[in-house]
Amino acid sequence: MTRPGAPLPSLMGRAVARALLTGPQATEADARIFEATIAVLARRGTREATMDDVAAESGVSRATLFRRFSGKDELFERALTREIGLLLAGLAQRFEVITDPTEQVIEGFLDCMRLNDHILFKTTDPERRTDLVDALCQGDPSPIALVHYAVRSNIAKNQAAGKIPPGLPDLQADALIHICIGYLAAPSVAIDLTDPDAVRTLARVAIAPILTGATVAQ
């Protein structure tokens, strides 16, 4: 009988907190295991997935997995930590080059919409996809709370530097994050979210003004 794993919201909350602290750290051997783990999670979820599934997917023996990880909960959490860390690291690298706050909003939103092509979202059934989105809001602190803190801090820093008009960073960050979650949770009726140019236009016209207070005529 398969032992039910820890709930996805619990794993996600710990993984996001860990990723923000450590980044996407993993040895080459562990990276292969983590990639296989994410693929298994996408297909089966935390309740049904087993260490045997990961062993078969990765080509690593079950005994080796248990030597490296205490059980499937630790393995799932660390795989999610690496995945989230890679996403955050990629965005941070782009923000080192893209310093304009408006362009940061546009590229950040585009990155968020690219999650639709991520294996965890793309290959899961609708119910599990809903669980993934819901997991962002669970935990203490929740992933959404941790991301809110980072976005709010970036907005406040840019406002203090005079790069964007004064505003209310808490509310502005909250709006930006919930817009992203809304587009992940439900398909758009106005644009093709797989079209990067359309996504950038949406972000420039309707989302960036949350920070700039300006609208762009098309």
pLDDT digits (tens, 9 = 90+) for 50-98: 999 999 999 999 999 999 998 888 999 889 888 888 887 887 788 888 8
Residue numbers of the domain that contains 27: 1-97
Tens digit of each residue's pLDDT (9 = 90 or more) over 151-204: 999 899 999 999 999 999 999 999 999 999 889 888 788 899 999 999 999 999
On the question of pLDDT at 26 being above 80, the answer is no
Residue 135 resides in a domain: yes
Cβ–Cβ under 8 Å, residues 80 and 118? no
Do 102 and 88 share a structural domain?
Answer: no
pLDDT in tens, 95-138: 888 889 889 999 999 998 988 888 887 765 666 677 777 777 77
H-type helices in 23-100, by residue range? 28-48, 51-58, 62-68, 72-97
The angle that helices 101-114 and 143-160 make with each other, rounded to 10 degrees, is: 160
pLDDT band of 3, cuts 50, 70, 90: low
Number of domains comprising the chain: 2
> Does residue 203 contact residue 193 with C-beta atoms inside 8 Å?
no
Q: What is the CATH number of the domain that holds 18?
A: 1.10.10.60
218 contacts 201 by C-beta, under 8 angstroms: yes
pTM confidence score: 0.77
Does 113 share its domain with 75? Answer: no
44 pLDDT more than 90: no
Share of the chain above pLDDT 70, in %: 86
87 and 110 part of one domain:
no
- pLDDT of the residue at 174: 95
Query: Scanning the structure block, which residue is given the tokens 């049904």?
Result: 48
Same domain, 119 and 145: yes
Helices and strands in the chain: count of H runs, count of E runs: 12, 0
Contact present, 62 and 55 (Cβ < 8 Å): yes
